[in-house]
Every structure is written in C-alpha cells, then in structure tokens.
Amino acid sequence: MSTTKATLKSFIEESFLEGTARTTVEDDLSFLEVGLLDSTGVLELVDFLEQQFEISVEDEELIPENLDSINQICTYLESKGVSTG
C-alpha cells in the first residue's frame, strides 16, 4: 500500500470508525452509503486533505465522486498532483 493511501486510511479509521462496528475501511467502501460522513465529517476530511497533502480543495470539488471512498480520494489526490503510487 502506498504511503498516501496508508495515511489516508489511518485518518479515516481513527476519525470516523469510533463507535461503529467496523474496525477497518475497505478501499472501495462508500462512506455515504454506510453513513460514516456527516456535514462535520466532510469538513474534517477536507481539512485533513488540505493540510496533510498541501492542496486546496475547491467547493465544486466537494462531490461524492471525489471523496466517497479511499480509492476515489486517491484518484482525486492524483488529479491534484499528489503521488499515490
């Protein structure tokens, strides 16, 4: 697993799994389908991405296609010039 993906996975697991029956997040798990992200969670995730990967997330980029799973976030990060390989 790439460092980027591992960092991301670790953040998601530490921030959003507490109190759920899950102990891990599969790469293609939809956060919205299982209810992992509410409106505050979205802001926390974006905050993390901007600070950790030194990118700027635009409002129009805040769509499920970019942020709804670890794989989708990795694809999005690549589009912003972050290496995930």
Residues near other proteins (CB under 8 A) are 32-33, 35, 37-40, 42-44, 46-47, 59, 62-65, 67
Long-range residue pairs from 30-39, CB within 8 A, at least 24 positions apart, any chain: 30/64, 30/68, 30/69, 31/67, 31/68, 31/69, 32/64, 32/68, 36/12, 37/67
Between 65 and 85, CB nearer to other proteins: 65
d(CA 7, CA 13): 10
Between 26 and 47, CB nearer to other proteins: 47
Between 28 and 33, CB nearer to other proteins: 33
Q: Tell me how far, at minimum, the Cβ of 52 lies from other proteins, in Å.
A: 14
